[in-house]
Amino acid sequence: MKKKKFNIIEMNKIFKSLINTMIPESKIELMPSASRAIKISIFLKNILKSNKLKKKINKVLITTLKNNKKINYSSLGIKIAESKIMEKDLEKYLLESYFSSKLVQKQLLKKTNKILSSKKTNNKDNLSLLKLVKKSRLRYKHI
Amino acid sequence: MKNNNVDILIIGAGAAGAAAAWNLSQSGYKIICLEQGPSLNYKSYSFSQTNWELLKQKKFNINPNIRKSKSDYPIDNSKSPISIANFNAVGGSTILYSGHVPRFHPSDFKTKTVDNVGDDWPFEYKDLEPFYKLNDKIMNVAGLVGDPAYPPISNLKPPVPLGLSGKKIAQGFNKLGWHWWPSYSAISTKRYKGKKKNSRSTVDKTYWPLAISNGVKLRANCRVKKITLNSLGNVNGVIYTNPNNKEKFQGASLVIVACSGIGTPRLLLNSANKLFPKGLANSSGLVGKNLMLHPLGLVEGKFDKFLGSFIGPEGCCLASQEFYETIKDAKHKRGYTMQVLRSSGPLETAFSARKFKNLSFGKDFHKQFSQNYGKTIPVAIICEDLPEKHNSVELDHNKKDSSGMPGVKINYKLSENSKKMLVHGLSKAKEVMKKIGAKSIMSFGPVRHTGWHLMGTTKMGNSRKESVVNEFGQTHDIKNLVIVDSSIFVTSGGVNPVSTLQAVALKITSEIKNSPNRYFI
């Protein structure tokens, strides 16, 4: 039997759902899904640079497709993500791409500012903290 | 034939080489500095870049064996629990340092007298004080006056803000009645001379522009392979590879080595000749011995509330020196600093949470990430490392750099004293974390990838049998060969060594200016 080969559009669909299952959108945490933060084509290009990984991806795709004959590509990606079979291979690439994305960093900054704006303190707090230390004995030895 | 000889040739454009070049640049000498690494645009290594965490994993990794750039040399760490960290470029390791620049304590210069361990330096804290002060000015050191852990330190820029996490842990130290103080930081907390607020003072931005404007010639991508001697046994120049990897000779009347506690012994050992078969200036046999690294322990407390603990310069928050000096009845001699750090950025937080199984992919990914991000306070235990001859650097002829020069092997064992000190430090830092209600505490040490502080491998001293250089930085064996980096340290202190090594470089080069006959042939 001839082996199925996946074209770039099919691969994009599979990987979009795969990484979105691994890192979905969170409305509560105000964070975007992986595919909103990462350009799938660049992500794919990066991971396919490794021949070992390329071979494993093909093998996993074909096996999963064989076991789920009438499945569409998006569902195929979800299946692979849920099986965690590629998790160890992809996590480094995925985390690096996700947390280096401008969108993710912007959201994290927004969240941080929102939380911290309610906790603003001034420099006088430092001084009251330091009073105790200033009054304390010397900590260095006079030689 | 045109004579290209210079009066002074400096090898290495890092923290020590830069301070030396600037100090000497004011005295009318013809000076050249050769640096094996490139000259970088400061924007390329700015910590505020969006992809900085990614660059830190690769191009700007602290481990030269991972970076593998043309300017790096192979370092075999397989016989050491701590691996060497460095950066080779104009600016040296300050390109990647955190900017935490505390001084040594007066007792650090007298450990033999005070605690009967290590050795005494040939000079004291008070001799170095004016040079610390000068260095603080040029490096724009920020901090707070009145620290009871030191003799008075003045003229500091405003300290870096503690942030919520700093304030929280300061309360813990207060509850225990232990010393703490805002970090001494080479961070521009005030706008100065057009430089951006909150930028780190790396020496390519501080000392080098001043030295170059005074006429010092700085040549990047030039690796010195050998220091050469004339027939009388005096240094007459160096053989180096130029940016096209071609070997050249540069003549000089005085050579100053500033290549770090690893690079300096490497160069001297590689410069062995008939007169010095064991390595240049190595009649004592101590070149490459007594390597000190500051074993580092890490304690991280995790809290329920968001502290934004990643905000601020990463190594600069506050430090406690409650246990810096030898404690009566303790199992170890000398002591350590508890340096409160900022927590990691998002990528490192995610990696670390994955490693410790605190983060899983899927629907709970963001919730679990939020439970880790900005909610931890890390404390580093910086242990004073005592000099031991078996801890050493040697040439590795099996692995060579891009110019064919041998790499190095590190032979290092943690001493019993360091092990006991680490245990003490880890337990004390955990006590602070408990005092401020940490939900969970993680601790371990020594941390492997922390070998930043490279000291002791060309020890300074009065005896030519027991040391490599004298108190003026001159090698005992060769009058016009001077070393100014942290390889000449006699002991390591329990703090980051950069301000001390720069003060030492300023002290030695001031001596060259004041007493040239001592050095020049």
Q: What value of ipTM does the predicted structure carry?
A: 0.90
Residue A3's pLDDT band (cuts 50, 70, 90): low
Please give the residue of chain A at the shortest CA–CA distance from B125.
Answer: A143
Listed residue (B119, B101, B95, B89) closest to B46, CA to CA: B95
**A99/B contact by beta carbon, under 8 A:** yes
A64 lies in the same domain as A24 = yes
A115 lies in the same domain as A83 = no
A56 lies in the same domain as A124 = no
Q: Which domain holds residue A51?
A: 1-100
Q: What is the pLDDT of residue B57?
A: 87
Q: What is the pLDDT of residue B50?
A: 79
Angle at B222 (CA atoms; ends B218, B224), nearest 5 degrees: 110
| Residue from the list A102, A105, A133 with its beta carbon closest to the beta carbon of B179 | A133
Residue A119's pLDDT band (cuts 50, 70, 90): low
A76 lies in the same domain as A19 = yes
What is the enclosing helix (H) or strand (E) of B34? strand B31-34
Please give the residue of chain A at the shortest CA–CA distance from B104.
Answer: A140
A114 lies in the same domain as A44 = no
| Residue from the list B114, B171, B370 with its beta carbon closest to the beta carbon of A29 | B370
A83 lies in the same domain as A95 = yes
**A7/chain B closest Cα distance in angstroms:** 26
Residue A61's pLDDT band (cuts 50, 70, 90): confident
| Residue from the list B114, B162, B373 with its beta carbon closest to the beta carbon of A141 | B114
Higher pLDDT, A6 or B377: B377
Return d(Cα B260, Cα B209) in angstroms, integer: 21
pLDDT in tens, B81-131: 999 999 999 999 999 999 999 999 999 999 999 999 999 999 999 999 999
Partners of B481 in the β-ladder: B255
Listed residue (B478, B454, B32, B22) closest to B240, CA to CA: B32
**A67/chain B closest Cα distance in angstroms:** 23
Return d(Cα B251, Cα B151) in angstroms, integer: 43
CA distances from B137 to B133, B153, B252, B498, B503 (A): 6, 12, 31, 14, 11
Q: What is the pLDDT of residue A141?
A: 76
* Cβ separation A139–B170 shorter than 8 A: no
Residue of B365, B367, B368, B375 for testing the chain A interface, max A β-carbons within 10 Å: B365
CA B391 to chain CA centroid, nearest Å: 18
Structural tokens at position B13:
């454009």
Sort out which chain B residues have CB atoms less than 8 A from A129's CB and list them.
162, 167, 170-171, 174
**A5/B contact by beta carbon, under 8 A:** no
Report which residue type is found at A96.
E
Partners of B311 in the β-ladder: none
A45 lies in the same domain as A90 = yes
pTM of the model: 0.94
Q: Buried b vs exposed e over B282-298: b needs ≥16 C-beta within 10 Å?
A: bbbebbbbbbbbbbbbb
Per-residue pLDDT, averaged over A4-30, amounts to 90
* Cβ separation A133–B362 shorter than 8 A: no
Q: What is the pLDDT of residue B184?
A: 96
Listed residue (B449, B341, B338, B429) closest to B384, CA to CA: B338
**B474/chain A closest Cα distance in angstroms:** 27
Helix (H, G, I), strand (E, B) or coil at A100: coil
For chain B, list residues with pLDDT below 50. Answer: 1
**A9/chain B closest Cα distance in angstroms:** 24
A77 lies in the same domain as A107 = no
A vs B: CB pairs below 8 A: 123
Residue A99's pLDDT band (cuts 50, 70, 90): very high
| Residue from the list B149, B182, B346 with its beta carbon closest to the beta carbon of A108 | B346
Partners of B407 in the β-ladder: B396
Per-residue pLDDT, averaged over A2-25, amounts to 88
CB atoms within 10 A of CB B350: 26
Sort out which chain B residues have CB atoms less than 8 A from A38's CB and list them.
none
A85 lies in the same domain as A110 = no
Q: What is the pLDDT of residue A120?
A: 61
**A42/B contact by beta carbon, under 8 A:** no
| Residue from the list B167, B308, B347 with its beta carbon closest to the beta carbon of A100 | B347
**Contact call for residues B482 and B519 (beta carbons, < 8 A):** yes
* Cβ separation B346–A29 shorter than 8 A: no
Residue A123 pLDDT exceeds 60? no
Return d(Cα B38, Cα B20) in angstroms, integer: 19
**Contact call for residues A91 and B365 (beta carbons, < 8 A):** no
Sort out which chain A residues have CB atoms less than 8 A from B57's CB and list them.
96
Return d(Cα B5, Cα B9) in angstroms, integer: 9
Please give the residue of chain B at the shortest CA–CA distance from A141.
Answer: B107
What is the enclosing helix (H) or strand (E) of B298? strand B296-302
Structural tokens at position B491:
């002991």
Sort out which chain A residues have CB atoms less than 8 A from B150's CB and list them.
140
Q: What is the pLDDT of residue B198?
A: 59
**A1/chain B closest Cα distance in angstroms:** 35
* Cβ separation A137–B148 shorter than 8 A: yes
A93 lies in the same domain as A39 = yes
Domain count of the fold of chain A: 2
A34 lies in the same domain as A77 = yes
The runs of H, that is alpha helices, within B380-438 are 416-435
Structural tokens at position B164:
């919520």
**A105/B contact by beta carbon, under 8 A:** yes
Please give the residue of chain A at the shortest CA–CA distance from B145.
Answer: A134
**A124/B contact by beta carbon, under 8 A:** no
**A29/B contact by beta carbon, under 8 A:** yes
Listed residue (B76, B69, B2, B3) closest to B36, CA to CA: B69
**Contact call for residues B212 and B35 (beta carbons, < 8 A):** no
Please give the residue of chain B at the shortest CA–CA distance from A125.
Answer: B167
Please give the residue of chain A at the shortest CA–CA distance from B369.
Answer: A29
Partners of B247 in the β-ladder: B241
Q: What is the pLDDT of residue B344?
A: 93
**A105/chain B closest Cα distance in angstroms:** 7
Q: What is the pLDDT of residue A70?
A: 75
A72 lies in the same domain as A88 = yes
**Contact call for residues A118 and B306 (beta carbons, < 8 A):** no
Q: What is the pLDDT of residue A121?
A: 57
DSSP class of residue B451?
A: B
DSSP class of residue B424?
A: H
**A122/B contact by beta carbon, under 8 A:** no
Return d(Cα A27, Cα B394) in angstroms, integer: 57
**Contact call for residues B376 and B303 (beta carbons, < 8 A):** yes
Listed residue (B521, B449, B519) closest to B484, CA to CA: B519
What is the enclosing helix (H) or strand (E) of B217? strand B217-219
Return d(Cα B301, Cα B437) in angstroms, integer: 9
Sort out which chain B residues have CB atoms less than 8 A from A29's CB and list them.
366-367, 369-370
CA distances from B262 to A71, A90, B273, B487, B488 (A): 59, 37, 20, 8, 11
